[in-house]
Homo-oligomer: A and B are copies of this chain.
């Protein structure tokens, strides 16, 4: 096989692979947004088939021959093709180590698991979900022993979401956060609490939907390739950079919930929408890792979205839409309400300051589950114990506790640390960005175009061309969690006037 023939073969692979991912993605999106309840079985069967086709595709002899041909001739390839071959080889190598039938069975299991979790959360019934969750952890452990028998199985999971991430790095990072944040949270706790009750008046869904439209405009997202759906748990999904969807959830007694879900998911969406055209439909298109992804989504949600100028930007729209609820609220008052901090139960509703503690709970539990120290049966009580220990709150029931997130139901184990890591990345990105542009003016302008442009050039356009750590270092230099801590200290001492 010549290098050119091999490149053609890789292109054909990528076309089919993109189609299978697109199909699986749209089945998942439909399943979570509008599909009838009884469609779970057939969707699981179809996703199982697609998973088999993907497996056969990446282990097909002609594809492997092409990969090996290119691997042997790396120096002849363009930078993009070199990276592609290395990434595909890695993926192939990981896939072939897992027996096909086990992969398919796991895919079918996950589709069911997701449906069972939805129902379990609704009915506050952890017991029904427990065996599915245990099986998910067990399977991931088994798969880790296939792909990397020498490595700690939880580190195999961490590496999947943030290449190179280890328990040691996480422990160190979380320790640094905890040492500084716990006393800061305690100081905030003693200060006069901010009254944000007006944010919990009645905000009709139809008007919140108009507000979503406004936010999408502010974030300068190309609607031709973007859509918004509704789900219990907001998420972003992309079918190449030409079709990216976010979802949100409207609560009529909570104005900021959908607001910050939308801004957060739009951050993910912008990243996915802006890979350079050369990467369209290839393995290298889209976000490179979950921590870099969360650095974008949480940057928009918190650093931009909960900033003074952003609050000042959206308040007139909100006053106009909700004059009775917000007519008397001043800019500074609104900004402080939006940044009200208090240890709470739900991660996605948590304020910027206490957020990392929610992540730490999940990190500790995942570590223990993967090491076998605890089993799924222990999760509710362990969850509740750690929420008490870290956040000082009592968890009233599992739907407000261990059942709140969808991640575990989809086998996204090792994902959570990315949220905290991404938040910390974002603080360093802000400092870098400020060297090039006037961030506040960019927000004041009413459209985030200048901010988008900076991030596109520094991060988004590269897709998966660089390892996440390398990409971060290119933009921000060495990672230093102190920058994040300092950002939080400055912000919350001012918000709480302490």
Task: Give A contacts to B, CB under 8 Å.
Answer: 15-16, 18-20, 22-24, 26-27, 29-30, 33-39, 41-43, 45-46, 48-50, 53, 222-227, 229, 239-240, 242-243, 245, 281
Contacts and interface: CB of A to CB of B under 8 A. Distances in A.
A19 B35 CA distance: 16
Given A23-B23, A36-B224, A37-B224, 8 more contacts: A19-B53, A23-B27, A26-B27, A26-B30, A33-B34, A36-B227, A37-B223, A53-B53
B224 A49 contact: no
Nearest to A227: B36
10 shortest interchain CB distances as A-B pairs? A19-B49, A38-B224, A39-B243, A23-B23, A38-B225, A19-B46, A42-B242, A22-B46, A36-B227, A42-B240
Contacts of A35: 227, 243
A42 B281 contact: yes
Contacts of A24: 23
Nearest to A241: B42
Given A16-B49, A27-B23, A38 B240 contact: no
8 contacts: A19-B48, A23-B23, A35-B243, A36-B224, A37-B223, A38-B242, A42-B242, A46-B239
Given A16-B49, A45-B15, A49-B16, A225 B39 contact: yes
A240 B26 CA distance: 17
Contact of A243 (B15, B26, B43): B43
B229 A42 contact: no
Nearest to A42: B242
A32 B384 CA distance: 45
- Protomer copies: 2
Nearest to A27: B26
Nearest to A21: B46
Contact of A226 (B19, B36, B46, B239): B36
Contacts of A19: 45-46, 48-50, 53
Given A19-B50, A50-B19, A281 B30 contact: no
A100 B18 CA distance: 20
Contact of A15 (B49, B227, B240): B49
A243 B36 contact: yes
Contacts of A23: 23-24, 26-27, 46, 50
A38 B281 contact: no
A50 B46 CA distance: 13
Nearest to A242: B42
A239 B39 contact: yes
B243 A38 contact: yes
A170 to B, nearest CB: 36
A251 to B, nearest CB: 19
Contact of A16 (B15, B39, B53): B53
A121 B197 CA distance: 49
A463 to B, nearest CB: 16
Nearest to A29: B30
Contacts of A15: 45, 49
A242 B50 CA distance: 18
A281 B45 contact: yes
A33 B30 CA distance: 11
Nearest to A19: B49
A227 to B, nearest CB: 5
Contacts of A16: 49, 53
B38 A239 contact: no
A473 to B, nearest CB: 33
